[in-house]
A and B are shown apart, each in its own frame.
Chain A
Amino acid sequence: MDSVISLIQAAVVFGTVIMFGCIGEIVSEKAGNLNLGVPGIMYIGAIASLASVFAYESHAAEPNKAVCVIIALAACFGASALAGLIYSFLTITLRANQNVTGLTLTILGSGIANFFGGSLNKMAGGVGQISVAATSSAFRTTIPGLSSLGYFGKIFFSYGFMVYVAIIIAILVNYFLKKTRTGLNLRAVGENPATADAAGVNVTRYKYFATVIGAGISGLGGVYYVMDYIKGTWANDGTIEKLGWLAVALVIFATWKSVNAIWGAYLFGVLYWAYFYIPNLTRASQELFKMIPYVVTIIVLSVVSLRKKKENQAPAHLGLPYFREER
């Protein structure tokens, strides 16, 4: 029983990172922008938040936890949105190829983050490992009382607040896309920008906003990863990139619906950590188990494509630039 609970806990924590990445990407893709820069954006968000709270913690005599959280989130969202803005300018205004731009952004983001991450580790001195203890503990604070409710508390209430924020954002994004006029317009932009344009929707503005805000949400996955998942430290081990690609895969798995991303993310978490809880696995077979989330994505993609239900397909104009006067 204990091992089942600890698997669920590991899955939820893991899932939350990719859920943020995935929801942001859904917002962007619904507006027709296939942003493959998600891993890079999560990197940038992670390092921006780590660097800024590191600066704050090392200058303040007694870091205020609320301030720490605000700085971390603001720095992360701002830096990620800025990365989204670069992507938007290139793909929407200059109409550069979205795939190439996204991949470049991923490479750029991982370069920036690992460069500054290494530097921060050096600046931290000591054992050569940065640590932002105050911020991390704020992110990891659980709701007092509830987490000690036995198994129930362990499964549902043993996490930092970002786990619940992710779920709330997923539900809000779903409501926004489905029930509001702005959401309807945004989906129209991703499906058929010429139609949206002819209907009086400002296609460029919608694409910019969706991509920039989407990037900001994706970046939150990065801050959650450094502050909670690896407890306010930094490692140049490429894990964020791996998680970023899983977030992109999760978009397909969730068939572009953010509520599906909630259980999908946790399922990916369970599949990813399953090897750890299966006894007597060799190192080689562990690697096989780690592939399961990707295999599942391929299967889902095949099934969805075979069933041909139009509502479950990618937005029709995904990945293509739009120019009104094109003939």
Chain B
Amino acid sequence: METNYAVEMRNVTKTFGSTVANKNVSLTIKKGEILSLLGENGSGKTTIMNMLAGIYFPDSGQIFINGREESIRSPKDAFNLGIGMIHQHFKLVDIFTAAENIILGQAEGRLNKKAVRARIKEICDKYGFKIDLDKKVYNMSVSEKQTLEIIKVIYRGADILILDEPTAVLTPQETERLFNVIRNMKAAGKAVVIITHKLHEVLEISDRVTILRKGEYVGTVNTRDATEMMLTEMMVGKKVELNIDRKEPRNTVKRLEVRNLSCYNREGRLALDNISFTAMGGEILGIAGISGCGEKELLESIAGLQKTATGSVIFSDPSTGTDIELIGKSPRVIKNLGIALSFVPEDRLGMGLVGSMGMTENMMLRDYNKDGVVFVNKANPRHLAETIKEELGVVTPSINTPVSRLSGGNVQKVLVGREISSAPAVLMTAYAVRGLDINTSYSIYNLINEQKERGVAVLYVGEDLDVLLSLCDRILVLCGGKLSGIVDARTTTKEEIGLLMTKSGKTPETGEGKGETEDE
């Protein structure tokens, strides 16, 4: 039986300083099967696979490859054993061509381009890939980059493929294409591991599921015996309610009107192209699109952080009924006009909070100039921090602990709590639940729903289409900076949104490779 396993890991432990990333994890991967590695963020699923790929070295434990005990000290060792990993943040050199990236790091000497090309073509034909070998990586779309990564790994003769969150940045259609490739690889006898936290994908593609929780091994089940409910319980460790309570919007009034908005991003590319829509108070407007489609620029334009080229953003004050133009005003001017805009940015510790400061100081960032001219008044922010800690259940040793030491979910609670505390008229959130575990995600959804019931206009940028469909009232879809449609979230389907996300035919570039700051 033993030789049937492509990989067997026994009692593997890895610590980073005082953090235990993996504790006594044992798992097996068979040849010709697709194994899902399921777990919440921070459950150690990427870490354990990084040890197979030679990025990290285990503190203790054994690794058997094809029945033989091996010590994998570097990525090179991993290649020699036929292990290839496709990382979540692609490991590609931006200014190199596809071909150059594929041959990187292999036997030294002169380049024989013809032979290389012939071999790549052979691989592409076998598994059904399409790639332009002379295209530079910085001109590629996310899905092209992923294809390139997979070809690279197969070119090196990998029999054991590890894909870390491969579908996180893909549209439903691209995901389907990827799954077909993965099934081809399985048919070719390769062992495939998919790291993911999306349950429906697990059920769709894998043969077996191994579940990790907080760095520890929970169990392995055959996919055909598994249900979504059961996997969630194993993943979270207790029963969770996976329903979002969506109320019908009541008393909606026009709150924000965006007309013909266009802007250029830092690279001078048109990031928003003639966008017009209306956001209503008392409803959640979802914004969907492939990362880099202009969602960031849209929110930042409204918040007064992004310089716009044309167009206008009109805010209708609910109390007075007057219309105010926001374009051309800085966040401070907007605030001084008494307009309560709240913005939960994608980059929590970069734009939202100051990592080295405690909760109290972070509360002050919003209203530091409200009371006190020379000396700061700490009493009010301290009180606010205490309230948020209490009500949202922020786990922190003290409200003075630097927020960068808190886990991703708690950081997000601090930020959302602060933004909500100002009783906003418009609440904008970008990837509010990115990196959060299921429980925390649902408490964030509840907070957002509460705001909606209070009559706030919520703009929710999200990446999980299932959540967008069950949380939002309407969904605005962006594609390459253009508005490709606004759909009713109650009647639309994932496929329809997926098509809209790629509507204009051209896929937008993303800043992949630069945004490595994201916490795992």
Contact between A181 and B111, CB atoms less than 8 A apart: yes
Contact between B109 and A184, CB atoms less than 8 A apart: no
A283 at the interface (CB under 8 A from B): no
Identify A180's interface contact among B79, B96, B100, B111, CB under 8 A. B111
Q: Known A-B contacts: A200-B106, A324-B56. Give 4 more (CB < 8 A).
A: A191-B93, A196-B93, A200-B75, A202-B74
Query: How many Å lie between the Cα of A200 and that of B81 in the bound state?
Result: 12
B93 shortest CB reach to chain A, Å: 5
The stretch from A231-239, A246-254, A308-316 touching chain B is A308-316
Closest to B516 in A: A194
Query: How many Å lie between the Cα of A198 and that of B149 in the bound state?
Result: 12
Query: How many Å lie between the Cα of A179 and that of B112 in the bound state?
Result: 10
Identify B107's interface contact among A181, A194, A316, A325, CB under 8 A. A181
Contact between A200 and B74, CB atoms less than 8 A apart: yes
Contact between B79 and A195, CB atoms less than 8 A apart: no
Query: How many Å lie between the Cα of A198 and that of B85 in the bound state?
Result: 9
Contact between A192 and B109, CB atoms less than 8 A apart: no
Across-interface contacts of B240 in A (CB, < 8 A): none
A242 shortest CB reach to chain B, Å: 33
Contact between B95 and A191, CB atoms less than 8 A apart: yes
> CB within 8 Å of A: which of B489-520?
513, 520
Contact between B93 and A195, CB atoms less than 8 A apart: yes
Q: Given A201-B104, A308-B267 in contact, is the A181-B93 Cβ separation under 8 Å? A: no
Identify B109's interface contact among A181, A199, A201, A310, CB under 8 A. A181
Contact between B110 and A195, CB atoms less than 8 A apart: no
Q: Given A194-B91, A308-B267 in contact, is the A184-B75 Cβ separation under 8 Å? A: no
A141 at the interface (CB under 8 A from B): no
Across-interface contacts of A316 in B (CB, < 8 A): 94-95
Across-interface contacts of A310 in B (CB, < 8 A): 94-95, 136, 138
Contact between A181 and B110, CB atoms less than 8 A apart: yes
8 tightest CB-CB pairs across the interface, nearest first? A199-B105, A200-B76, A195-B91, A200-B105, A201-B105, A199-B104, A198-B91, A191-B93
B204 at the interface (CB under 8 A from A): no
Identify B111's interface contact among A179, A194, A197, A199, CB under 8 A. A179
User: Can you list 29 A-B pairs with a CB-CB distance of less than 8 A?
Assistant: A180-B108, A180-B109, A181-B108, A181-B109, A181-B110, A181-B111, A184-B96, A184-B100, A185-B104, A185-B105, A187-B96, A188-B96, A188-B104, A188-B105, A191-B95, A192-B91, A192-B94, A192-B513, A195-B91, A198-B53, A198-B85, A198-B87, A198-B91, A199-B91, A200-B75, A200-B106, A202-B76, A316-B94, A324-B55
B279 at the interface (CB under 8 A from A): no
Closest to A313 in B: B95
Contact between B110 and A179, CB atoms less than 8 A apart: yes
B268 at the interface (CB under 8 A from A): yes
Q: How many residues of A contact B (CB 8 A)?
A: 26
Across-interface contacts of A197 in B (CB, < 8 A): 55, 74-75
> CB within 8 Å of B: which of A274-293?
none
> CB within 8 Å of A: which of B82-116?
85, 87, 91-96, 100, 103-111
B515 shortest CB reach to chain A, Å: 13
Contact between B268 and A308, CB atoms less than 8 A apart: yes
Across-interface contacts of B93 in A (CB, < 8 A): 187-188, 191-192, 195-196
B375 at the interface (CB under 8 A from A): no
Closest to A185 in B: B105
Query: How many Å lie between the Cα of A29 and that of B53 in the bound state?
Result: 28
Residues in B lying within 8 Å of A, measured CB to CB: 16, 53, 55-56, 74-76, 79, 85, 87, 91-96, 100, 103-111, 136, 138, 152, 267-268, 513, 520
A142 shortest CB reach to chain B, Å: 35
A214 shortest CB reach to chain B, Å: 19
Contact between A196 and B138, CB atoms less than 8 A apart: no
A209 shortest CB reach to chain B, Å: 12
A182 at the interface (CB under 8 A from B): yes
Contact between A195 and B104, CB atoms less than 8 A apart: yes
Closest to A192 in B: B93
Closest to B514 in A: A316
A327 at the interface (CB under 8 A from B): yes
A127 shortest CB reach to chain B, Å: 53
Contact between B96 and A191, CB atoms less than 8 A apart: yes
Contact between B92 and A200, CB atoms less than 8 A apart: no
Closest to B109 in A: A181
Q: Which of A195, A316, A325 has the most CB of B within 10 A?
A: A195
A262 shortest CB reach to chain B, Å: 23
Closest to A324 in B: B55
Across-interface contacts of A196 in B (CB, < 8 A): 93, 104-105
Query: How many Å lie between the Cα of A214 and that of B316 in the bound state?
Result: 63
Contact between B95 and A185, CB atoms less than 8 A apart: no
> CB within 8 Å of B: which of A136-193?
179-182, 184-185, 187-188, 191-192
Contact between B92 and A195, CB atoms less than 8 A apart: yes
Closest to A182 in B: B108
Across-interface contacts of A311 in B (CB, < 8 A): 95
B162 shortest CB reach to chain A, Å: 12
Query: How many Å lie between the Cα of A311 and that of B137 in the bound state?
Result: 12
Query: How many Å lie between the Cα of A187 and that of B96 in the bound state?
Result: 9
Across-interface contacts of A187 in B (CB, < 8 A): 93, 96
Query: How many Å lie between the Cα of A201 and that of B100 in the bound state?
Result: 14
B104 shortest CB reach to chain A, Å: 4
Identify B79's interface contact among A184, A192, A200, A308, CB under 8 A. A200
B164 shortest CB reach to chain A, Å: 12
Across-interface contacts of B520 in A (CB, < 8 A): 327
Query: How many Å lie between the Cα of A182 and that of B106 in the bound state?
Result: 9
Across-interface contacts of A201 in B (CB, < 8 A): 104-105
Query: How many Å lie between the Cα of A300 and that of B388 in the bound state?
Result: 53
B96 shortest CB reach to chain A, Å: 7
Query: How many Å lie between the Cα of A180 and that of B107 in the bound state?
Result: 11
Contact between B105 and A325, CB atoms less than 8 A apart: no
A147 shortest CB reach to chain B, Å: 37
Closest to B57 in A: A325
Query: How many Å lie between the Cα of A179 and that of B100 in the bound state?
Result: 11
Query: How many Å lie between the Cα of A187 and that of B267 in the bound state?
Result: 24
